[in-house]
């Protein structure tokens, strides 16, 4: 257990100063966050420090203890196979403290430093991408957990519904219940757990990082290959000659084959079909139906509802009509009778192959959870006495930012606003403090020379080998898709 400098009081009680709550912890008890405890009069971090270790098999972990590690003899470590993450590192609150771990190593002959900490993020949120065409709710609609609003629906992005959750307004700007529920939901999402949410005027959804979303009890299987117009263009040659008219039903842009540019390029015979909705450009229609859980993200259970009629001057009895959704989940085959009314009929066997081809081009539907937060006072002050220099170093790409060893995207503009896919982080990376706020790992890696120039806390640097020898830690395999955090691209620049 990582020892933290305690603030002793009478009767063995210790005041924890790891966050602004300042819990008074009695002997043998834990603080409100369950992350710090009073063990024999010492304040300790109860979870191990997590290391990424390239020698650990994927999916397996090993706990190392001080007595099992090799003593550090003062030598400079070469090309380390272990990377110290911020998970379990403890925080730097209050701001004047140097980061819990400032670790030196040598990579490709270059002396480097990684500043390791856990940040207390009040200014943070979660962006959720839900791969589905099904209607989850109107844009800007509140998203609720246990009746409390934790965020809202934002823009729909090409086959994915987007949610914006958390943020300082929901964490601290509303009621105590709202803040606590928001913090708990965000922590569970960032720890890759399933969270059920309801959307005003919309659906109940279950979201879990890197798992299929569940919309009103329906587990999604695939996301669309494209909008109705895109599907028309992609597969036009493959259904040309099999069907006389194809309608790709889509809540956003419904495609009509014979009107579409793809059909015209193939010299497809006009069918005389008249579609409800607002025509955009030839073969592309908006607002053919309301959004919902039916065909192509519409409320349609019967796709024929969007067809007004067939022009008798153009259409003909026996015309073959194929209707399909953007994922191929819904499809139907019709033939026009003598009155030019579509009648269900058995499709040719090739149609089943085309439906399978559409489905094959649809990627598995997933929920993606992205943590987003601003690295503020305690984080930057834990790195350097002149925090703006860290900001500039990150902007100049002299300092690499990772979260639990996973690559972080740093937003342009002022400050250090990071975003990271939690699926690429070790499990159980996220904690909380009851202010409420999330506790999230973050690491800053740079050359030793650049660290000195920014006014870093160089007196607190320790070799990585000393961390391995002196700390209880848990070694886990790095995510297979992540670059190694200590790799130095571009000839040595971090």
Residue 340 CA to residue 348 CA, distance in Å, equals 20
- Domain co-membership, 187 together with 272: no
Query: pTM of the full predicted structure?
Result: 0.87
Q: How confident is the model at residue 16 (pLDDT cuts 50, 70, 90)?
A: confident
Looking at the structure, do residues 149 and 117 belong to the same domain, yes or no? no
Q: CA-CA distance, 338 to 348, in Å (whole number)?
A: 21
The closest alpha carbon to 111, from 426, 394, 456, belongs to: 456
- Determine, yes or no, domain membership for 327: yes
Task: Note the pLDDT tens digit of each residue in 259-306.
Answer: 999 999 999 999 999 999 999 999 999 999 999 989 999 999 999 999
Tokens of 289: 């139906």
What pLDDT score does 61 carry?
A: 44
253 and 348 in a single domain? The answer is yes
Q: Is 339 found in the same domain as 292?
A: yes
* 402 neighbors 103 (Cβ within 8 angstroms): no
> 55-83 burial, b for 16+ CB within 10 Å, e for fewer?
ebeeeebeebeeeebeebeeeebeebebb
CB neighbourhood size of 158 (10 A): 10
Do 236 and 260 contact (CB within 8 A), yes or no?
yes
Same domain (yes/no): 36, 54: no
Could you give the number of structural domains in the chain?
A: 4
Shared domain check, 389 and 470: yes
Q: Could you tell me if residue 290 is inside a domain?
A: yes
- pLDDT tens across 183-216, in order? 999 999 999 999 999 999 999 999 999 999 999 9
Q: What pLDDT, on a 0 to 100 scale, did the predictor assign at position 494? A: 45
- Point out the domain boundary residue: 200, 223, 246: 223
* pLDDT at 104 exceeding the cut of 90: yes
Same domain as 390, residue 298: no
Nearest to 226 by CA among 214, 217, 236: 236
Range of the domain at 296: 228-360
Residue 371 domain-assigned (yes or no):
no
Are 235 and 318 in the same domain? yes
pLDDT in tens, 75-86: 444 456 889 999
> Given pLDDT bands bounded at 50, 70 and 90, which one contains residue 64?
very low
Q: Are 432 and 447 part of one and the same domain?
A: yes
Same domain, 175 and 290: no
Q: Distance (Å, rounded) from C-alpha 170 to C-alpha 145?
A: 12
């Amino acid at each position: 257990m990582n020892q933290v400098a305690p603030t002793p009081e009478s009767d063995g009680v210790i005041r924890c100063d790891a966050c602004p709550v300042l819990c008074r912890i009695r002997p043998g008890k834990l603080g409100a966050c369950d992350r710090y405890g009073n063990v024999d009069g010492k304040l300790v971090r109860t979870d191990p420090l997590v290391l990424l270790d390239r020698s650990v098999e994927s999916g397996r972990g090993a706990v190392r203890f001080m007595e099992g590690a090799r003593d550090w003899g003062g030598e400079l470590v070469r090309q380390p196979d272990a990377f110290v993450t911020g998970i379990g590192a403890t925080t730097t609150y209050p701001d004047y403290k140097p980061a819990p771990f400032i670790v030196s190593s040598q990579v490709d002959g270059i002396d480097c430093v990684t500043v390791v900490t856990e940040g207390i993020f009040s200014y943070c949120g979660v962006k959720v991408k839900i791969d589905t065409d099904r209607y989850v709710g109107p844009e800007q609609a509140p998203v609720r957990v246990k009746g409390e609003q934790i965020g809202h629906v934002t823009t729909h992005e090409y086959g994915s519904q987007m949610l914006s959750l958390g943020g300082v307004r929901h964490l601290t700007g509303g009621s105590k219940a709202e803040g606590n529920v928001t913090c708990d939901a965000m922590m569970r999402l960032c720890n890759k757990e399933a969270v059920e949410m309801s959307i005003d005027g919309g659906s109940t959804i279950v979201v879990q990082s890197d798992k299929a979303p569940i919309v009103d009890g329906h587990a999604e299987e695939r996301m669309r290959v494209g909008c109705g117009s895109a599907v028309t263009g992609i597969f036009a040659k493959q259904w040309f000659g099999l069907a006389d008219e194809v309608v790709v039903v889509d809540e956003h842009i419904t495609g009509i084959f014979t009107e579409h540019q793809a059909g015209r390029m193939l010299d497809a015979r006009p069918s005389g079909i008249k579609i409800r909705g607002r025509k955009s450009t030839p073969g592309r229609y908006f607002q053919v139906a309301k959004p919902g859980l039916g065909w192509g993200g519409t409320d349609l259970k019967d796709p024929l509802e969007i067809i007004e009629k067939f022009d008798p001057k153009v259409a003909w009895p026996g015309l073959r009509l194929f209707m399909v959704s953007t994922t191929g989940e819904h499809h139907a085959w019709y033939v026009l009778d003598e009155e030019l009314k579509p009648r269900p009929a058995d499709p040719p066997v090739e149609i089943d192959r085309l439906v399978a081809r559409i489905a094959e081009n649809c990627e598995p539907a997933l929920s993606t959870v992205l943590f987003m937060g601003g690295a503020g006072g305690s984080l930057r002050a834990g790195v350097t006495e002149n925090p703006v220099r860290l900001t500039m170093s990150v902007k100049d790409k002299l300092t690499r930012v990772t979260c639990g060893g996973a690559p972080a995207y740093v937003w342009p503009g002022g400050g250090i606003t990071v975003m990271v896919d939690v699926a690429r982080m070790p499990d159980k990376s996220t904690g909380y403090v009851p202010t409420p706020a999330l506790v999230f790992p973050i690491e800053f890696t740079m050359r030793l020379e650049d660290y000195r120039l920014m006014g870093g806390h160089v007196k607190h640097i320790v070799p990585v080998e000393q961390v391995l020898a002196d700390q209880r830690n848990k070694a886990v395999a790095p995510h297979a898709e992540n670059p190694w955090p200590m790799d130095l691209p571009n000839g040595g620049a971090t």
